[in-house]
Amino acid sequence: MARNEGTLLFKDKQIGIILALSDKGQEWNITSLARAASATYVHTSKFVARCEGLGLIQVVKHGKIKALSLTEKGSEIAGNISRIIERLAIKPEDGGVGQAQEKK
């Protein structure tokens, strides 16, 4: 995710974690998720625990490894976040920030 897109409303690391989990082609654990979101292990672990409590992330233990995935509710929210970020993005044809503000 580009730094400008979505940072107005969302925190980069948390959104990076949610959006990374929406990639179903990868098996996620805390370490791989932290790496993908450029977050620390501790930050990712705490955020995952909060999201699990909200019913957004499912955690399944395989020995010492915790496999992570989005729940149906989490997938829906990830999709909504993606659409919001796309909507906030300034497209080249918009002429940049200055012209976007002038159109108001």
User: What tokens does 89 get?
Assistant: 């993005």
pLDDT of residue 99: 40
pLDDT of residue 93: 56
pLDDT of residue 3: 47
pLDDT of residue 73: 97
CA distance 25 to 6: 24
Q: Where are the domains of the chain?
A: 12-90
pLDDT of residue 8: 55
pLDDT of residue 96: 47
CA distances from 99 to 45, 92, 103 (A): 41, 11, 6
Tell me the CATH class for 12-90.
Answer: mainly alpha
Answer whether 69's CB lies under 8 Å from 23's CB.
Answer: no
39-59 pLDDT tens trace: 999 999 999 999 999 999 999
Which DSSP helix (H) or strand (E) runs through 75? helix 72-88
pLDDT < 70: residue spans in the chain: 1-9, 90-104
pLDDT of residue 12: 86
